[in-house]
């Protein structure tokens, strides 16, 4: 058995025995669906880094520019389909385990794959929130007809309903996630660079409370040394091998 096959077998067994699992996903799980990650070269748009645009300051300085970037991101996601990683997680949900799926992604691909119990930590790309009255509109227009878009209710400026750098995630949401980590036996961390808080610390919280942590990520991450099993492969190839109803699948190398 190769080292990778051994890790997969170990991870499968751990997941199989667990009744309570928390999964945290990041942009990497959608990379094989063609959605650019932030850290990769393709995350750049017109030479801006995401950190320069995904902020309240950038938005209030130039709402049109920030919306043009979101329009580009919506366009990059509009034809994307879930990949085997998303589908494997949706299937895990049907296996009678208590599964909490937390995602930093805003692309909606977990929903499209059939997962139903999803905590979207950073919001959703297909929602526009009014900066004045807070009204949230589901909007799938690509490209957007009006840039920046206006609120359908009060006519004021709309913003993407996402959490930007420097903004707070609702405390109640964090509490729910921490509680789920506290109650789980196993935490899976998939396709997240581990540098954006508070998601970055969630694996540490799991370790501090003696949970088994399994990471699937293509590249090195800052906290990998603390985790129990670390698989440096594509999530779309590995996740279908980790869950028991996919017994018949094998590594194609
Ligand atoms: P990130 O871009 O910082 O990191 C992505 C990680 O995924 C990297 O460590 C990379 O090595 C890994 N990766 C790339 N391809 C992979 C694959 N096929 N299989 C496994 N791992 C792979 O993303 P992040 O950690 O999620 O955090 C940054 C922020 O980016 C979040 O706030 C998120 O909302 C936002 N974001 C979301 C999307 C999306 O919704 N799809 C896309 C880009 C950024
Ligand atoms: Zn409004």
- Does residue 118 sit in the same domain as residue 238? yes
Mark whether 66 and 151 lie in a shared domain: yes
Q: What is the pLDDT of residues 206-250, one digit of tens each?
A: 999 999 999 999 999 999 999 999 999 999 999 999 996 654 454
Report residue 214 as tokens. 């399994």
Q: Is the pTM of this model over 0.85?
A: yes
Contact criterion met (CB below 8 Å) for 130 and 153: yes
Taking the CA of 36 as reference, the closest ligand is: 1
How many Å lie between the centroid of ligand 1 and the Cα of residue 37?
5
Burial class (CB in 10 A: 0-12, 13-18, 19+), 238: buried
H helices of 95-157, in order, are: 109-113
Nearest atom (ligand 1) to Cα of 216: 20
The answer as to whether 249 is a domain residue is no
- In this predicted model, what pLDDT tens digit does every residue of 186-195 receive, in sequence order? 999 999 998 8
Using alpha carbons, select from 116, 123, 37 the residue that is nearest to residue 80: 37
Which residues, in sequence order, are CB contacts of 128 under 8 Å at separation 6+? 136, 137, 139, 149, 151, 158, 159, 160, 161
**How far apart, in whole angstroms, are the C-alpha atoms of residue 60 and residue 42?**
25
Please count the structural domains in the chain.
2
pLDDT for the residue numbered 36 = 87
pLDDT value at residue 28: 96
Pocket probe for ligand 1: among 30, 31, 33, 37, the residue whose CB has the most ligand atoms within 8 Å is 37
Pairwise CA distance, residues 214 & 228, whole Å: 6
Residue 213: which H helix or E strand, with range?
Answer: strand 212-216
Domain span at residue 64 reads 40-79+127-162
From residue 78, alpha-carbon distances to 29, 35, 112, 191 in Å are 16, 10, 12, 20
In this prediction, residue 252 carries a pLDDT of 47
Indicate if 135 and 222 belong to the same structural domain: no
CATH of the domain at 229: 3.40.50.1220
Per-residue pLDDT at 244: 65
Is 117 in the same domain as 171?
Answer: yes
Query: Which residues of the chain fall below pLDDT 70?
Result: 41, 43, 244-253
Residues 10 and 72 in one domain: no
Of 17, 34, 64, 56, nearest in space to 184 by CA: 17
The CB of 161 under 6 Å from ligand 1? The reply is: no
């Amino acid at each position: 058995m190769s080292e990778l096959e051994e890790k997969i077998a170990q991870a499968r067994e751990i997941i199989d025995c667990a009744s309570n699992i928390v999964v945290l996903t990041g942009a990497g799980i959608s990379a094989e669906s063609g959605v650019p990650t932030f850290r990769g070269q393709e995350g750049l748009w017109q030479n801006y880094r995401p950190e320069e645009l995904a902020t309240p300051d950038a938005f209030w300085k130039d709402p049109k520019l920030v919306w043009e970037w979101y329009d580009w991101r919506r366009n990059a996601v509009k034809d994307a389909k879930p990949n085997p990683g998303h589908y494997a997680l949706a299937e895990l949900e049907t296996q009678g385990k208590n599964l909490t799926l937390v995602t930093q992604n805003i692309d909606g691909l977990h929903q499209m794959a059939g997962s139903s119990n999803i905590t979207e930590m950073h919001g959703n790309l297909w929602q526009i929130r009014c900066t004045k009255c807070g009204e949230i509109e589901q909007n799938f227009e690509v490209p957007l007809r009006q840039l920046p878009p206006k609120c359908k209710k009060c006519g004021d400026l709309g913003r993407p309903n996402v959490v930007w750098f420097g903004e707070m995630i609702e405390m109640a949401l964090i509490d729910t996630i921490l509680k789920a980590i506290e109650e789980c036996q196993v935490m899976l961390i998939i396709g997240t660079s581990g540098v954006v808080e508070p998601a970055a610390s969630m694996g540490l919280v799991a370790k501090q409370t003696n949970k088994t942590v399994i990471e699937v990520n293509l590249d090195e991450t800052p906290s990998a040394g603390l985790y129990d099993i670390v698989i440096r492969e594509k999530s779309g190839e590995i996740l279908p091998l980790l869950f028991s109803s996919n017994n018949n699948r094998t590594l194609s190398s």
